[in-house]
Structure 1
Amino acid sequence: MTAGSDANGQPAVVPDPTATAPGRGAHLHPTGECYDLAVRRKAFPRALRLGTGLPAAPVGDYLDSMTVNDPPRNRSNSS
């Protein structure tokens, strides 16, 4: 995640899946639970060292699109 612009050109926290955007970034596990927790704790402004909060909706939208497009993962530990 990094500070950038949303689809309307407004400042927002945006996904940076390739970690190539300039400036300070923040890591987030690609799960809805981690995203919700980060929003509740206002973690994005702290991680990105911003004085004020920015909307994080583009990150939520990105995570939602990953969930819809990815098949369920097999979490079994069998060998």
Structure 2
Amino acid sequence: MAPVVRAAINPGAGPVRTCVGCRQRTAKSELLRVVVGPGPDGRPAVVPDPAATAAGRGAHLHPTVECYELAVRRRAFSRALRVKEGLHNVPVGEYLATRATDQ
């Protein structure tokens, strides 16, 4: 039996995660982690975790508006975070919008 050969992104780059928007595998350090947290109205929402220190299950996303919109269109946040009810994703969109204007 032949050994399984797996393609490495960059072995020295550290852990690799998949973006929930575009589904591309990328180094964890290049992605924004998002988790379920309280939204502005107190209901569960997808919130950014830029320090990647929040407890609980997280998902990763390229910090671009394009990947965010793909994730919203595909309803990827609730699937990746394993939440049955609909999540508000406005906090992540606002975070990305302010980050884009800062650059």
> Normalized against structure 1, the TM-score is what?
0.84
1:10/1:52 CA distance change after superposition, 3 Å: closer
Show the counterpart of 1:4: 37
1:26-45 alignment, distance < 5 Å = 26-45=59-78
Q: Which runs of 5+ in 1 are unaligned?
A: 71-79
Which structure's relative contact order is higher, taking Cα pairs within 8 Å and 6+ residues apart? 1
Q: Could you tell me which residue of structure 1 aligns to residue 86 of structure 2?
A: 53
Q: Which amino acid aligns with 2:81?
A: L
The runs of 4+ residues in structure 1 deviating greater than 6 Å are none
Query: What's the counterpart of residue 77 of structure 1?
Result: none
Higher share in strand: 2
When the two structures are aligned, how many residues end up with a matched partner?
Answer: 70
TM-score normalised to structure 2 length: 0.65
Question: CA RMSD for the aligned pairs?
Answer: 0.9
